[in-house]
Structure 1
Amino acid sequence: MLRLPYHNRYSYSPIVERPDYSWPGGKRLAVYLGLNIEHFAFGAGDGHLLTVANPPPDPRTFAWRDYGNRVGVWRCLELFDELNLPAAHLINTTVFDYAPQIVDALKARGDEFIGHGRTNAERHGHMWESDERRFLEEVRDAIEKASGKRPRGWMAPWMASTHHTPDLLKEVGFDFLMDWPADDQPLWMKTRSGPLMSVPYPIEINDSPQILVRHHSPEEFRDFIIGQFEELLRQSAKQPLVCGIALHTMIVGQPYRLRLLREALQHIVNHPQKDKVWFTRPSEIYDHCANLPKGTMVPPPA
C-alpha cells in the first residue's frame, strides 16, 4: 500500500458528518474581514507585484506597495466605519515604527491584531527551529507592546511555514493559526504541546491571488465575495460556517477597487437574512469554538 508523507496535524473529517452547532445568538454564518497591513524593504527582499519588476531598487513597485500605508489603509478603515464592521488586521511589526498612526487607529476601533511577521519582505520557512522560535517571540512581544494585548492569532507572510511552526506557535502562546486553508469550519490541530486551532482564512476570497496573480477585475472580485457569501449562507442552514474576506491595503485601497469592495460589503450588511450572520473577528471565533461541548469539534489525532 502506498503511504504518502502526511503532516498528522488534523484528522480527516467529511464536513457532512460533523455535529451541528450555532454561533452566538443562533447565528449560522460567521463573517470576518482580514486586512493585511504590510511594510516592505526598499530595493530588497520579497514583495507583491502589480506588474513586471524593474531591477532593484525599483521605486515604482516600492511606492505602489507603500500607497497601502499612506492612503489605502485609511480608505479601508473609513469603509469599515461606514458599514459598522469589525475587522482583524494581519500586520507586520515594522509598521509600528514606520506608521504609528495606523496602530492608534486600529486600537481606537477595538480591532484585532493578528501576528503577520516582521515584514512581507521576508519569508520564515527556511529558518532553523531555534531561530523561528525567537522570530515568533519577537513578533508576539512587539504586538503586545504596540497594541496592549498579546496576539492570539497567527498568519505568516506568504502563508509560509516550517515543519515546526504549529508546535512553536502553541509553545510561545498563540491560540490559533490561519495558514491552513483546508476547511470552512475551525478545526483542531495536533502539536507536541497540545491542541492548536486553525481558523479558516481564504486563499480564494483574497484580493492578492485573485487580482495580482489571476488578473481578475474589481468587478469579478466583488462577484466572488458575493457569490461566496451567498452560497455559504445557504449551506449554513445545515452547519455553522466561516466566511473570511482577505484584503490588502495596496490592492483594494485603490479607489476603483474600493468602490467595488464597498458594493460587495453593502450587499452583505444589507442582506435580508443578515439576522443569520455573525460579523466578528477570528479570536471571537476561537473563543466560541474552544468553549463548545466536548466532542462537538473533531479532536486532533491522538
Structure 2
Amino acid sequence: MLPSHGRYGYTPWPERARYAWPGRARLAVYLGVNLEHFAFGEGLGAELAPGANSGGGPQPDVLNYAWRDYGNRVGAWRLLELLDALALPATVLLNSALYDYAPALVAAHRARGDEIAGHGRTNSERQSMLDEGSERVLIAESTAAIARHEGVAPRGWLSPWIAESRVTPDLLAEAGYRYTLNWCMDDQPVWMATRAGPLLAIPYPQEVNDIPAVVARKDGADAFAAMVLSDFEERLEQVARDGIPQVMGIALHPYIIGQPYRLRALRGALSAIAARRGEVWITTAGGVLDHVLTLPEGSVA
C-alpha cells in the first residue's frame, strides 16, 4: 500500500450530488487576491529575474524585492479600481505583516466588504519548515492580527507558498478555521478529516493563477486573460451538460496582475464573467463555505 494522507476518500466525478448554488446556479466563481509582504534582504519571494533565491546573486536582491513591492504600492490599488468598476467581491488572502506595512490597503478592502482570509505572516517563510509548535505559533499570530483589526477571526486559510506540514490541517481546525485553500485536487468543495473535526477544502487554482502562469510558464498578459475566460466558458458548458456544481477560483497577485498591460487584458476577461451574473454565482470563498453548510448531509464529498 502506498502511503496516504488519510484526509479524504475518492469519489468518482459522475457520482457527485447535483446540488445548486444560490440563484440555482451550477457554477460559483470567486477571486482570490493575494496581498503579500516580503522581508528585505532575506527569505523567500517570487522572482522577475534570477536573483538571490535561485542562485542568481547575493542579498539584498533589490530588483525582485522592489518588483514585489510594486504590488502593494500601486498594483493592488489599480486592481481595486477594477473590482469596484465591475462590482466584484474578493477573498483577500492576507499576510498579516500588511497591517503594519500598508494598513490603508487592507482598510480599502475592508471598506468594500471583502472577505479577509489568513495567508500567514509573510511570504518570506514556509510554515512546512517549522516544527509543530512553531507552526501553531505562526497560525496563531496571523489569526490574532486579523481578528484584532477586522473584529472577527478569519475562517479560511491559504498557506504561504501553499506549504503544509503533515499536521497543518489539524492545526488549522484546532485554531478555529473552517476551510482551507491549500488543496487543489478537485473542482468542488471536499470535506477533509482532521483530529479536530472536518475542514472544508475549497478549490483554489494552481492553473488559473498568475504566478504559475506568468512567472513559471512565462505566459503573456493576453494568454493569461484568455486562460481565465476559456476556463470560465468551458466550466459553464460542463455544468450545463452534467449538472454537477463546480467552484472556479481565480488567483491574482497585485505585483503581477497589477502591471498595467496585464491589468488591461484581465479587465476584458473579468468583464465577460461579470456580464454572466444571471447564470453564475459570483461570491467569495467564505460564501462557498456558508452555502455548503446549508446543504443536506452527504451532498458534499
Partner of 1:204: 207
**1:73 and 2:76 are equivalent in the alignment:** yes
Could you tell me how far apart the structure 1 residues matched to 2:66 and 2:133 are?
34
**Structure 1 residue 286 displacement after superposition:** 0.5
CA contact (8 A) 1:222 1:264 kept: yes
CA contact (8 A) 1:176 1:196 kept: yes
Q: Aligned runs of 1:25-174 on 2, under 5 Å?
A: 25-53=23-51, 54-174=57-177
Could you tell me how far apart the structure 2 residues matched to 1:129 and 1:60 are?
34
Could you tell me how far apart the structure 2 residues matched to 1:14 and 1:234 are?
19
Counterpart AA for 1:23: W
**Structure 1 residue 203 displacement after superposition:** 0.4
**Structure 1 residue 255 displacement after superposition:** 0.2
**1:286 and 2:295 are equivalent in the alignment:** no
Could you tell me how far apart the structure 1 residues matched to 2:189 and 2:102 are?
33
Could you tell me how far apart the structure 2 residues matched to 1:8 and 1:291 are?
26
**Structure 1 residue 19 displacement after superposition:** 1.1
Q: For structure 1, which runs of at least 5 residues remain unmatched after alignment? A: none
Could you tell me how far apart the structure 1 residues matched to 2:145 and 2:181 are?
19
Counterpart AA for 1:280: T
Partner SS state of residue 128, structure 2: coil
Counterpart AA for 2:76: V
**Structure 1 residue 207 displacement after superposition:** 0.1
Counterpart AA for 2:3: P
**Structure 1 residue 107 displacement after superposition:** 0.8
Counterpart AA for 2:249: G
Counterpart AA for 2:272: H
CA contact (8 A) 1:103 1:147 kept: no
Structure 1 ranges of 4+ moved more than 2 A: none
Could you tell me how far apart the structure 1 residues matched to 2:275 and 2:197 are?
41
Aligned length: 294
**1:266 and 2:271 are equivalent in the alignment:** yes
**Deviation readout 1:216-247 (Å, 9 max, x if unpaired):** 11111011001100011111121111110000
Partner SS state of residue 129, structure 2: coil
**Structure 1 residue 287 displacement after superposition:** 1.0
The normalised TM-score by structure 1 is 0.96
Partner of 1:16: 14
Counterpart AA for 1:47: G
**Structure 1 residue 24 displacement after superposition:** 0.9
Counterpart AA for 1:134: V
Q: For structure 2, which runs of at least 5 residues remain unmatched after alignment? A: 52-56
Could you tell me how far apart the structure 2 residues matched to 1:93 and 1:113 are?
10
Partner SS state of residue 278, structure 2: helix
Partner SS state of residue 223, structure 1: helix
CA contact (8 A) 1:103 1:146 kept: no
Over aligned residues, Cα RMSD in angstroms?
0.8
Partner SS state of residue 191, structure 2: strand
Partner SS state of residue 235, structure 1: helix
Partner of 2:54: none
**Structure 1 residue 209 displacement after superposition:** 0.6
**1:227 and 2:230 are equivalent in the alignment:** yes
Could you tell me how far apart the structure 2 residues matched to 1:148 and 1:63 are?
32
Counterpart AA for 2:128: G
CA contact (8 A) 1:40 1:121 kept: yes
Could you tell me how far apart the structure 2 residues matched to 1:248 and 1:59 are?
19
Counterpart AA for 1:108: A
Could you tell me how far apart the structure 1 residues matched to 2:95 and 2:237 are?
35
Partner SS state of residue 60, structure 1: helix
Partner of 1:6: 4
Could you tell me how far apart the structure 2 residues matched to 1:94 and 1:60 are?
21
Counterpart AA for 2:247: V
**Structure 1 residue 55 displacement after superposition:** 1.9
**1:243 and 2:248 are equivalent in the alignment:** yes
